[in-house]
Structure 1
Amino acid sequence: MREIQVAEHKTLKLTNVLARKVDGSELGNLPVVLTQMQNFIRSHNAMPVGPIIQCVKMRTGPNPTADIYFMQQVNQLITRLDPGYEMDAVLRVRNCLYAHYVGPMDHSSLASQKLDIYAFENEIERTGDVYSIYVNQDEDEGVLDVFMETK
């Protein structure tokens, strides 16, 4: 039996995080965007640390929108940033719902869906911000950690 493990009150802590906002027109070219990000890191004599992180920030209102960011931890703080990049020395997101997914990557969205259902069943309010960490993946299988910020 497959299982997606869920926990409450988790904290996501990342250090030296480089973030790049991705607009809708770039979503079809994610490999190019990620390569550009890696090249930017190396051009500043830094090295990537750990896996890629995807952050989706939901904006509410009459026309809800989603801002999508790709993030990468690096081994040192980059102070000279090109337009489109942001840098945080420490990114700490407290009080998250957490899901650990292992399985086919084409079903990895089930981790976020399970957290949505868990929040609904337990009457937990969410901020709309979701951090997906692609821990490991190959052609078919992968490991994904999802942190969903709560209010």
Structure 2
Amino acid sequence: MREIQVAEHKTLKLTNVLSRKVEVEDMGNLAIVLTQMQNFIRSHDAMPVGPIVQCVKMRKGPNPTAEIYFMQQVNQLIPRLDPGYQMDALLRVRNCLYAHYTGPMSYSNLASQKLDIYAFEHEIETTGDSYTVYVNQDDDNGVLDVFMETK
């Protein structure tokens, strides 16, 4: 039996986090965006640490939109950033719903959907922001952790 494990009150903690917003025109070229990010890290004598994190921030209002960011922990702070990059010494997101997914990457969006359903069933209000940590991935299968921020 396949299962997506869910938990409440989890904290996502990342250190030395380099972030890059993905613009709408770059959505079809995500591999290029990630390669550029890796090259930027190495060009500043830093090394990536851990997996890539994808952050989706929902902007509410009359026309709700989603902002997508790629994040990568690095082994040191990068003091001079190019436009489009942001650096945080510490990113801590408390009180999250958490889902652990293992299985075909084509079904990985079920982890976020399960958290949405869990929040609805348990009357938990979310901010709309979520963080997906791509722990391990090959051509077909993957392991990922999803953190969904709650209010």
Same fold (TM over 0.5): yes
Q: Over residues 1-40 of structure 1, what are the superposed CA-to-partner deviations in whole Å (9 max), with x where a residue is unaligned? A: 0000000000000000000000111010011000000000
1:134 is matched by which residue type in structure 2?
A: Y
Q: Give the structure 2 partner of residue 138 of structure 1.
A: 138
Q: Distance in 2 between matches of 1:65 and 1:141?
A: 29
Gaps of 5+ in 1: none
- The normalised TM-score by structure 1 is 1.00
Paired-residue identity, %:
83
Identify the residue that residue 97 of structure 1 maps to in structure 2: 97
For 2:120, give the aligned amino acid: F
Where does residue 53 of structure 1 map in the other structure?
53
Q: Which runs of 4+ in 1 moved over 2 A?
A: none
Per the normalisation by structure 2, the TM-score is 1.00
Q: Does 1:26 align with 2:26?
A: yes
* Letter paired with 2:72: Q
Secondary structure in 2 matching 1:118: helix
1:108 aligns with 2:113: no
Q: Distance in 1 between matches of 2:25 and 2:40?
A: 20
SS of the equivalent of 2:30 reads helix
Match in the other structure for 2:66? 66
> Any gaps of 5 or more consecutive residues in structure 2?
none
The 1-side partners of 2:4 and 2:117 are apart by: 12
CA distance in 1: counterparts of 2:117 and 2:78, whole angstroms: 39
Name the aligned partner's letter for residue 82 of structure 1: D
In structure 2, the residue matched to 1:16 is 16
Paired residues, what number? 151
Partner of 1:149: 149
Is the partner of 1:111 in helix, strand or coil?
helix
Q: Matched residues in 2 for 1:5 and 1:114: separation?
A: 9
State how far apart, in whole Å, the 1-side matches of 2:137 and 2:44 are. Answer: 27
